[in-house]
Structure 1
Amino acid sequence: MRQEKQPCVYILASQPYGTLYIGVTSNLIQRLYQHRNNQMPGHTSKYAVYRLVRFEMLGDMTSAIAREKQIKNWHRSWKINLIESENSQWVDLAVNLGLPPISD
């Protein structure tokens, strides 16, 4: 069965108020799995940035990429305010999407 693509901008954090990573994907679950299993070497694996703290589904990949660039250009405090506007406890939202909790 072919999975429907769902353009998405997501924010990962190492811990509350920790290192942040902003990315874009068309398959959020697959991308989270890749990050958590260090299949994507770089920033997220180096700093253990695996906790999904925010995501936004968008209508098309062009819009998702534009939104990712917009958020990446924001001040850190704006990014934190964006996260806390819907996730004040910095809960790992990936658990609600079916992924196992991160072992601390």
Structure 2
Amino acid sequence: MLTVTHDFVIGQLKALASQDPQVLESRRQQLIQQQQPLKLGSLAFLVIGAIMTISVIGAFVGLPMLAIAGWVQWKARANLKVIDGAYREFTSGGASLVVPG
């Protein structure tokens, strides 16, 4: 999952049909854990790309690798901000607890 939206996080929290803070925090932690492979994978590609750019020939592969890894790292951080913002909104009562359907 590369992009996490505000509506997705609110939907995940509403689907729990619970106002228990521990249950909501548990789901928030699950959503955060789903972002860990993005962060770790992009970090590995940043290191590999940096090493490859040492040589001129390796720079042809290393520089695009650095750019893509940087973008994925940025995306993972943005997703974490969305998760935290939506969680704060939901727990403060900004989002309705009524599950549509």
- Select the structure of larger CA radius of gyration: 2
Per the normalisation by structure 1, the TM-score is: 0.24
